[in-house]
Amino acid sequence: MPSAHASGTFAIGGDMPVHRLGFGAMRITGQGIWGEPADRAAAKATLARVPELGIDLIDTADSYGPFVSEDLIAEVLHPYKNLVIATKGGLTRHGPDIWRPVGNPDYLRQCVLMSLRRLRIERIDLWQLHRIGPDVPREAQFAVIAAMREEGLIRHVGLSEVSVDDIAAAQTFFPVATVQNQYNLVDRTSEAVLDHCTAHGIGFIPWAPLARGALARDGSVLSEIAKAHGASDGAVALAWLLKRAPVMLPIPGTGDPAHLADNMKGADLSLSDAEFAALDAQGRAAWNAAQAG
């Protein structure tokens, strides 16, 4: 059976070790990340498989559903045994695929308090600011997060879709334990942020880790490497991420138990340096072409 154990460990905030290959709980909701999942039984079965596959990091958010993902996690997995439930707040929902950031400090406090209630816990191990809201200065948002950390409502703090400058600004209020930015084989926008996180021991949680674009076509370097290893393209993409940096914490998401197990095969897949370099080169070429086009 594939297991996240093979992905190694990373200590979030220096004192909260997790296996590096986790689970993203966005896809256990309805279409457009809105409402209940089309197959609730499959979503619950997927969550039930998480600990069986050695996964001990689940990433969710109050905006997934909204609220559906957190409610299902609590229904299936509470009380949590050897599980880190990371959640996020700061995005409001007004319909399928509509995401609007709000950074009002009172709203962010409400996000934390309601997530605590839905997840049935007294402290959130990792709470991440889903986006820096444009409605108030970022310093006001960081200040209320620091206060909630001091109160013991939050153990560790993360940021999402931020720059190196944002990280540095936040560090004056609290230690930044993780950064969650989009990053994958074909999206290198956050390369500088990843390098900063690597240099400073900050966990980097790449969202959309399985995006492969044209690299998934037959005859591509990715396809040929996948065939050589008897693995899926997705498993190879995850193996590439794990090899890219020791702070990398991919969280592939799915609402299908079989797909979840297949993703975990990426933890066992060992890429050679030559395979890693070939994938990296093709991914960078695809990214550069997309930027130029």
Q: Tell me which DSSP letter residue 35 carries.
A: S
Give CA–CA dist 128/89, Å, rounded: 7
190, 279, 199, 181: which is closest to 239 by C-alpha? Answer: 279
Catalytic residue among 64, 80, 107, 183: 64
What are the residues whose beta carbons fall under 8 Å from the beta carbon of 110, sequence distance 6 or more? Answer: none
Give CA–CA dist 252/206, Å, rounded: 9
**Is residue 64 flagged as an active site residue?**
yes
Give CA–CA dist 179/168, Å, rounded: 12
CA angle 23, 85, 239 (to 5 degrees): 25
CA distances from 238 to 183, 241, 245, 263 (A): 11, 5, 12, 8
Q: How many CB atoms lie within 10 A of CB 284?
A: 14
CA angle 248, 237, 56 (to 5 degrees): 45
> Annotated active-site positions, please?
64
